[in-house]
Amino acid sequence: MASNSIKIRAKLKEDVVTVKALMTHPMETGNRKDSKGETIPAHFIQEITCSSAGKEVLTAQWSGGISKNPYISFKYKGAAEGDELTLTWVDNKGNSESAAVTVS
């Protein structure tokens, strides 16, 4: 699963995996106005899920208050080197992206 909008890393150290991901997304709140004074419609990531070895390790519910091109970092236990980690996001317009990385 290759994705141009998600850059992700997963590093294992002493039974703890540290995940770092950068997502490309406009993250509009629906409160800003353009140069003509018209409201820019809301467009933001609503849900992020990460799974590894068939288990969900993270679920996050977001709103329009997250900055453009959001970055997320988290840790979890119970993975092995070589496991595949998949991160998926879904936005409020129904768009979604996924990216997978091997835990190293």
What is the rounded distance in angstroms from the CA atom of residue 65 to the CA atom of residue 11? 29
C-alpha 21/C-alpha 37 separation (Å) is 34
Radius of gyration of the chain measured on its C-alpha atoms = 15
- Sketch the domain layout of the chain as residue ranges: 6-29+41-102
* pLDDT tens readout for residues 12-32: 999 999 999 999 999 999 999
Topology of the domain comprising 6-29+41-102: Immunoglobulin-like (2.60.40)
- The model's pLDDT over 38-96, given as tens digits with 9 standing for 90+, comes to 999 999 999 999 999 889 999 999 988 899 999 999 999 989 999 999 999 999 999 99
